[in-house]
């Protein structure tokens, strides 16, 4: 009887479900929907620091009329009282919560919750594993720019191996028949994306002329002990600057999941580039999360 | 002129007020009330970790249409700025807050606030002293099961001396003419419940056949230095397992205020027992808090 | 094209704007306005402990129907992720936030945000620099008492040099043609208020008979290393007690921005004094913040 829907990674969505969510995002963007989650109880459980994802989910929930309770780690009595997180989730379900939005520094944590929670779990980022709503908003942004992504080429640049955003985005782009090029130094490249439409490239400059979109990633220093190449080397080889921008197609766009570090993965010229889509991504983030929550709770 | 009502412990409610709140809980359970606290300003002041009580109160407040402000310790400027908590409470009253929900690691703290606050204070748990809303939901759950509690027998098992839940529940059950048996090792039994309807028993097995309901308590390790008996001894004598379940009456139910520790005060067989009422308790918790807040703010 | 209004200090308001906000406060006090900020997204960013200012802003926002997201330092991912606060602010603007209420232990921080944020920034206190909404509510309280402040005399007593409240209030009183006397020991007096209507006085007792209002300040111990005079000396010279109260005019009132320390800047007799306006100030605080937010977001 459990027909509850959760979103742990983009794999959880069938292609037509993904299309539905993106179409609803279009609708919501044109005119704000009513209180589609009127009185639905949502708990945001952020076990890891977050500004933009936290604020974006909370705005999405409030705009849909949900009742929102934030359970920061200080409220989560697990540590001192010896309860398992699974039992906490069951308790929240019994209390009347329908939606749990979960960020956690441990891969697989949101999935563990989804397996027992009698409601909808949304993964808001679990360690280096997955961040499906960020990938959804990236895909929405790409589709708004290019229409169908079939045959389009997206390069993802930087610290791919530690990036939950990259992992989710690769899955989503694969589903939509886009070509993906992963670009970075060896230490940042994953060993295992052997797919006909996912390739790996160490030479950023060689890739620039043939891409439709570039996704720059932040180096996730909090996820490894020491930087595998020097900052200077990284900047020399992988920072997007005015010279590299000039070698891209006029129609190409540049995206970043944020937060970005000026001077490291990009310089200030990128922030003024007409193809810089960061603000658009952030704006879409709230709308796509509204569409996702509506889909999970209300179905089609 | 101060006719403001607070709930520090169940003693604050007359028998007919208790009946009224339980009857209103029935009503609210059948159909959600409107915004009975529309725009009423409630501040949740949790000076101690809490998941379920915090979330339950906040949901109750939101469902009644209240305006909710959470004052976590990090917002409470007492420590650095030298103000007394009494003056903070007076300030919050002047600001327009009508309800303060207070949890604190110090017994008597909510009462101190209630003495000066020009509004309604609800004790959400003060150290080992009292936790009246948990007792209210337990009583509601028992009444739903058994109707009148007169002459019914409820055993409370485990760390009674450190349990604010037990203290409040004993008061409430006493008021409703139920018989109470306190069960546990000496170190966990209070010395002072000499009442004709409250008895003390060290032998859990002897008690099982003659009770209508069992309330298991979590061992409050955070409230003492070292465990007075070994975990193994505790488990052997007081853990509810399949054998002990089999010795109870078919109509008996098992309750727990949560959070529960699997393997310690209960084993997994209890969680599958038809008489296990934990989820029901949790669900009632939100409704009974709505009924209480409505009573405190709006009267009858 | 940036015509967005912010409030960093009272200087940002022209005299007629200040009048408008005070007049709107009057209206809102008489009857609660509707949801003038219905669905407007407000983020409260408190990088420093606060009870009253935080709660007052949040109540004001909720009463106007805003969507409120609290970004406590634990949510602000700046520290670990290397983003600048300016970029965080730009991101929040892109996300749809219209209002940022900012408290920070660094002077000038809210102004830095206002320079880049595409919306309205309200300074909720930045170190010892400014606290314009506290000054607004003080001015509103004074005007309610005295009507026009032209020619009235207000003494500000105590730790003026570290007080953001004092700095903002002096600016506001100056604009409204009131006379200001700054009273305190040398170490607490600012060197630079050479204005015909701002004077400095070390002798509190000499000042008492000739003032209309007294603003007592808390000693901001968290802002300096060691107390420049002993507590005993301070109390002897500057504490307001029954004797000093008796020397004031019958029509004079006493104000305090809170939190106040009993026994230090005042004794308990002040709290019972008919001219003690603290509760009134606190109550006005919510209303004046509602009027301010309405003005910033909706204009006149």
Best C47, C55, C133 residue to mutate vs chain B (most B CBs within 10 Å): C55
Instruction: Identify the weakest region by mean pLDDT among A69-83, B45-59, C102-116, C173-187.
Output: A69-83
Residue A4 included in any domain: no
| Close Cβ partners of A41 (under 8 Å, ≥ 6 residues apart) | A66, A67, A69, A95, A96, A97, A98, A99, B59, B62
Cα separation, C165 vs C159, in Å, equals: 10
My answer on whether A45 and A122 are in the same domain is: yes
Task: List the end-to-end C-alpha distance of chain C, in Å, as a whole number.
Answer: 19
Cα separation, A86 vs A114, in Å, equals: 9
My answer on whether A270 and A206 are in the same domain is: yes
Task: Compare B234 and B190 and report the one with higher pLDDT.
Answer: B234
pLDDT band, residue A277 (cuts 50/70/90): very high
Domain span at residue A289 reads 10-130+284-298
Residue C5 included in any domain: no
On chain B, the residues whose CB falls within 8 A of the CB of C59 are: 41, 67, 69, 95-97
Residue A2 included in any domain: no
Measure the CA angle with vertex B18, ends B16 and B24; round to 5°. 100
My answer on whether B143 and B273 are in the same domain is: yes
CB A140 within 8 A of CB A22: yes
Joined tokens for residue A75: 């409220």
pLDDT band, residue B97 (cuts 50/70/90): very high
Joined tokens for residue C288: 């004046």
pLDDT band, residue A78 (cuts 50/70/90): low
Task: Compare C3 and A292 and report the one with higher pLDDT.
Answer: A292
- pLDDT at position B1: 32
How many structural domains comprise chain B?
2
Task: Compare A81 and A36 and report the one with higher pLDDT.
Answer: A36
Q: What is the ipTM of this complex?
A: 0.94
CB A46 within 8 A of CB A123: no
Cα separation, C201 vs B278, in Å, equals: 67
CB-based contact (8 Å) between C51 and chain A?
no
Residue A3 included in any domain: no
Which residue among C43, C78, C95 places its CB closest to the CB of A282? C95
On chain C, the residues whose CB falls within 8 A of the CB of A59 are: 41, 67, 69, 95-97
Cα–Cα distance list, A125 to B80, B131, B200 (Å): 35, 36, 51
- Render pLDDT for A112-124 as a digit per residue (tens, 0 to 9): 999 999 999 999 9
Find the residue in C nearest to B95 (Cα).
C283
Cα separation, B160 vs B177, in Å, equals: 20
CA nearest neighbour of C133 among C176, C161, C97, C103: C103
Query: What share of chain A in percent tops pLDDT 90?
Result: 82
My answer on whether C92 and C180 are in the same domain is: no
Average pLDDT of chain C to the nearest whole number: 93
Give the neighbor-by-neighbor strand order of the sheet with C179-183. C198-201, C179-183, C153-157, C213-216, C253-255
CB B49 within 8 A of CB A77: yes
- pLDDT at position C194: 64
My answer on whether A237 and A156 are in the same domain is: yes
Beta bridge partners of B42: B68, B99
On chain B, the residues whose CB falls within 8 A of the CB of A90 are: 279
My answer on whether C60 and C201 are in the same domain is: no
Residue C3 included in any domain: no
Residue A273, CB-side half-sphere exposure with 13 Å CA sphere = 27
- Render pLDDT for B40-92 as a digit per residue (tens, 0 to 9): 999 999 988 888 999 999 999 999 999 999 997 766 655 557 788 899 999 99
- pLDDT at position A190: 87
My answer on whether C77 and C90 are in the same domain is: yes
What CATH code is carried by the domain that includes residue C171?
3.40.50.1370
> Has residue C1 got a pLDDT over 50?
no
Cα separation, C174 vs C169, in Å, equals: 8
Mean pLDDT to the nearest integer, C50-74: 93
Beta bridge partners of C214: C155, C254
Number of H helices, E strands in chain B: 12, 9
Cα separation, C75 vs A96, in Å, equals: 26
Mean pLDDT to the nearest integer, B282-291: 98
Distance, in angstroms, between C100 CA and closest chain B CA?
17
Cα separation, C160 vs C167, in Å, equals: 8
> Has residue C234 got a pLDDT over 80?
yes
- How is residue A198 annotated by DSSP? E
My answer on whether A123 and A170 are in the same domain is: no
My answer on whether C276 and C146 are in the same domain is: yes
My answer on whether A126 and A137 are in the same domain is: no
> Has residue C76 got a pLDDT over 70?
no
> Has residue A2 got a pLDDT over 50?
no
Cα separation, B111 vs B81, in Å, equals: 22
Residue C270 included in any domain: yes
- pLDDT at position C224: 80
DSSP readout, B195-233?
BTTEEEES-HHHHGGG-SEEEE----GGGSSS-SS-HHH
Number of H helices, E strands in chain C: 12, 9
Average pLDDT of chain B to the nearest whole number: 93
CB-based contact (8 Å) between C55 and chain B?
yes
Cα–Cα distance list, A264 to A267, A272, C100 (Å): 7, 16, 28
On chain C, the residues whose CB falls within 8 A of the CB of B78 are: 51
My answer on whether B208 and B221 are in the same domain is: yes
- pLDDT at position C196: 81
Q: With an 8 Å Cβ cutoff, are C278 and B94 in contact?
A: yes
The number of beta carbons lying within 10 Å of the beta carbon of residue A251 is 10
- Render pLDDT for C93-115 as a digit per residue (tens, 0 to 9): 999 999 999 999 999 999 999 99
Residue A219 included in any domain: yes
Residue B2 included in any domain: no
Mean pLDDT to the nearest integer, B186-206: 88
- Render pLDDT for A139-195 as a digit per residue (tens, 0 to 9): 999 999 999 999 999 999 999 999 999 999 999 999 899 999 999 999 999 877 767
My answer on whether A58 and A174 are in the same domain is: no
CA nearest neighbour of A123 among A66, A65, A162, A167: A167
Residue C74, CB-side half-sphere exposure with 13 Å CA sphere = 13
Joined tokens for residue C240: 């307001």
Which residue among B77, B83, B96 places its CB closest to the CB of C59? B96
């Amino acid at each position: 009887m459990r027909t509850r829907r959760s979103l742990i990674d983009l794999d959880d969505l069938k292609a037509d479900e993904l299309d539905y969510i993106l179409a609803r995002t279009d609708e919501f963007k044109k005119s704000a929907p009513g209180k589609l989650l009127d009185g639905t109880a949502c708990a945001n459980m952020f076990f890891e620091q977050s500004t933009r994802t936290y604020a974006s989910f909370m705005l999405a929930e409030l705009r849909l009329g949900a009742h929102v309770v934030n359970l920061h780690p200080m409220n989560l009595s697990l540590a001192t009282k010896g309860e398992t997180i699974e039992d906490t989730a069951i308790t929240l379900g019994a209390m009347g919560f329908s939606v749990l939005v979960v960020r956690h520094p441990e891969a697989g944590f949101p999935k563990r919750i989804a397996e027992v929670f009698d409601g909808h779990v949304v993964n808001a980022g679990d360690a280096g594993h997955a961040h499906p709503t960020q990938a959804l908003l990236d895909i929405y942004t790409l589709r708004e720019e290019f229409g169908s992504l079939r045959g389009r080429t997206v390069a993802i640049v930087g610290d791919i191996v530690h990036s939950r955003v990259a992992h989710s985005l690769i899955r989503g782009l694969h589903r939509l028949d886009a070509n993906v090029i992963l670009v970075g130094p060896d230490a940042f490249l994953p060993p295992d994306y052997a797919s006909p439409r996912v390739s790996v490239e160490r030479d950023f400059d060689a890739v620039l002329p043939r891409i439709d979109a570039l996704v720059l990633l932040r180096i996730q220093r909090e996820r490894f002990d020491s930087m595998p190449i020097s900052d200077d080397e990284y900047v020399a080889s992988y920072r997007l600057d005015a010279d590299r921008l000039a070698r891209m197609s006029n129609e190409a766009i540049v995206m970043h999941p944020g937060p970005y570090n000026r001077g490291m993965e990009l310089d200030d010229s990128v922030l003024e580039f007409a193809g810089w889509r960061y603000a658009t991504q952030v704006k879409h983030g709230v709308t796509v999360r509204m569409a996702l929550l509506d889909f999970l709770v209300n179905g089609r």
